[in-house]
Structure 1
């Protein structure tokens, strides 16, 4: 037997703002809101373990300290990289500098709270639901 990653927890100051951002980026929906302010998002209409990794946006007042040791990589499903980059900027992403050379085939971005993620070049099929 082996394990599967089913959820990724991201500490954040404003789970509502990040839920809105990441739902738009990933075509996810809010699946659950906890009394403590945490929000779980993922593919609509799926059970845990189906349709990809869920994100749990966990309320925290701890400040972000430097470059994250873990980040998300995303690929567009229905457009080329330049069009997807513009869409992400329109949603509130911004360019981030983590020491890249500028020659990379990917773009390093930050979400509204400064969490880094990368937009890769390849187009992939949407996740099956």
Structure 2
């Protein structure tokens, strides 16, 4: 028996703002809120336990130091990388420098709270409904 990633938990100064951003990026919807201010987002039809992991944006006031030890990679599903880069920047992503050379086939971006993520080149098929 093996495990599967079901949720990714991200500490957030403003969980609401990050929930809106990541929902737009991934086509996710809000699945629920906890009393502690956490917001879970995920695929609108599958929700928790589906083929894609959900994201839990958990309130935290702890200061972030340095580059994240783990980051999210995303791939476009319905457009090429350049068009998706424009869309992500319009949603509030910012270019991020983590020491890349400029010759990479991916773009390093940061979400509205500075969490790095990469936009890869390959176009993936969307998850079927």
If the TM-score is normalised by the length of the shorter chain, which range does it land in?
over 0.9
Judged with a 3 Å threshold, the aligned counterparts in structure 2 of structure 1 residues 124 and 60 are, in CA distance, closer, same or farther, namely same
Task: Quote the residue 1:9 is aligned against.
Answer: 9
CA distance in 1 between counterparts of 2:47 and 2:12 reads: 24
C-alpha deviation, 1:35, in angstroms? 1.3
Answering whether residue 57 of structure 2 is matched by residue 45 of structure 1, we say no
1:28-47 deviation per Cα after TM superposition (whole angstroms, max 9, x unaligned): 00001111110000001214
Unaligned ranges ≥5, structure 2: none
Other structure's SS at 1:73 match:
strand
Runs of 4+ in 1 over 2 A off after TM superposition: none
Give secondary structure in 1 for the equivalent of 2:123: coil
Tell me if structure 1 keeps the 8 A contact 2:75–2:119: yes
Distance 2:80 2:47 in 1: 30
Alignment of 1:31-70 (within 5 A): 31-70=31-70
**Aligned match of 1:83:** 83
Q: 2-side partners of 1:127 and 1:33: how far apart? A: 25
Query: How far, CA to CA, are the matches of 1:2 and 1:104 in structure 2?
Result: 33
CA separation in 1, counterparts of 2:124 and 2:48? 22
Asked if the contact 2:94–2:110 (Cα under 8 Å) also holds between the matched residues in 1, the reply is yes
Q: Please state how far the C-alpha of 1:23 moved relative to its aligned partner.
A: 0.2
SS in 1 for 2:31: strand
Aligned residues between the structures: 129
Normalised TM-score (structure 1): 0.97
